[in-house]
Amino acid sequence: MNLTKSTAYFRTRFVPFDEARLSIASAPVLYGLSIYTVIPVFWNDEQKRLYAFRVEDHFKRLQNSAKLMAFDDFLKGWDYEKFDTMIRDLLKRNEVQTDSLLRISVFVDGVLSGTRMQGLPHSLSAFVYPAAPLLPAKGAHLGVSSWRRTPDNAIPSRAKINGSYANAALMKHEAEQNGFDDAISLDEQGHVAESTVANIFLVRGGELLTPADSTDLLEGITRDTIFQLAEQFGIFCRQRAVDRSELYLADEILLCGSSVGITPVVKVDNRTVGSGKPGRLTRRLQTAYAKQARQQIPDQYGWLTEIA
């Protein structure tokens, strides 16, 4: 797919991608006053069918982000039926036949409006682009960042706010400067939070661990997917505070998110994780996720939206 020749949704209609533009004086450009979600889309080559993953859950999270940011105009103007119809139409118009990502943003549609959010229109944009690996599929090498994760009482961690990703960008830049693929963030108490764009899980002593919701993290949809898959496997998953030193003692570490799928971590701060190769549980979760997302096995959770 050629992104510049694709179709996007902008404000109230479908337009050529290059026509979906914002003013340099707009609130999203000047202040980052926008929220977003990324929906993974999977192509089943044997069936010749396209599936969007957990669309309703992504819409609910977008609604929650809008509630936290007081984007009332969006909440009044968009319900799930309208959202679902827009997504289906956008994917059909672009004739998507490959694994892709669908990025939907809601933004304060004002020019030179300062940092105000209420009393202004909130518009929606959406575009689709081919999924490309953000991290090495065979295993990522991460570094613990010197930058702390933005605390929830400064910028809500449960909302995907575009402006807040300056925090992630600082971490990513530092990690790459130090020879790592990505960063692990700590919260203000020094506990492990997440990666720059993904949640994190550890395996210790056969137990699956992940930082608790209170650890300044995004309550990820792929994270929730892992909870449900682990339960299906009969594997207990504990949510609790995770110390930095536990990263160095873990048998396995994995990242998960709409943009990274399930990615194994093989090194942290130049320390080898487990055997230095993707672990057994990580591989099992990767396989189950891939099969569920492409409906290679029955969709027992109702996660998939087939794009006819």
**Residues pairing with 191 in the sheet:** 243
Q: With a threshold of 0.85, does the pTM exceed it?
A: yes
**CA 148, CA 190: separation in Å to the nearest integer?**
8
Chain segment 159-190, per-residue pLDDT in tens: 999 999 999 999 999 999 999 999 999 999 99
Per the CB < 8 A criterion, the answer to whether 117 and 70 are in contact is: yes
**Inter-residue long-range contacts of 30-33, CB under 8 Å, 24+ positions, other chains counted:** 31/114, 31/115, 31/163, 32/161, 32/162, 32/163, 32/164, 32/166, 33/69, 33/107, 33/108, 33/115, 33/117, 33/162, 33/163
**Listed residue (86, 224, 217, 246) closest to 157, CA to CA:** 217
pLDDT of 144: 98
Closest Cα partner for 245 from 200, 201, 191?
A: 191
For position 4, what pLDDT does the model report?
A: 80
Among the four given CATH numbers 2.40.50.100, 3.20.10.10, 3.40.630.30, 3.40.50.720, the one describing domain 140-293: 3.20.10.10
pLDDT digits (tens, 9 = 90+) for 128-153: 999 998 999 999 999 999 999 999 99
Give residue 45's pLDDT: 94
Domain with CATH 3.20.10.10 in the chain: 140-293
Q: What is the mean pLDDT of the chain?
A: 96
Looking at residue 267, its pLDDT comes to 98
* Alpha carbons 269 and 246: distance in angstroms, whole number: 12
**Average pLDDT of 217-239?**
96
Res 5 pLDDT > 90: no
The pair phi, psi for residue 248, each rounded to 5°, is -80, -15
First vs last C-alpha separation in the chain: 19
Q: What is the pLDDT of residue 105?
A: 98
- Inter-residue contact 155 to 187 (CB < 8 Å): no
Residue the block writes with tokens 């402006």? 163
In the prediction, which pLDDT does 118 show?
86
Mean pLDDT of 285-297: 96
Percentage of the residues of the chain whose pLDDT score is greater than 70: 100
Q: How far apart are CA 256 and CA 285, in angstroms?
A: 10
Tell me the CATH number for domain 3-130. Answer: 3.30.470.10
Q: Give the model's pLDDT for residue 40.
A: 98
Average pLDDT over residues 68-72: 96
pLDDT digits (tens, 9 = 90+) for 202-217: 999 889 999 999 999 9
Handedness of CA 71, 77, 83, 87 (dihedral sign): negative
Confidence of residue 308 (pLDDT cuts 50, 70, 90): confident
pLDDT at 2: 82
Q: Which residues of the chain does CATH 3.30.470.10 include?
A: 3-130
- In percent, the amount of the chain with pLDDT more than 90 equals 96
- 245 exposure class (CB count in 10 Å sphere: 0-12, 13-18, 19+): exposed
- Is pLDDT at 116 greater than 80 in this prediction? yes
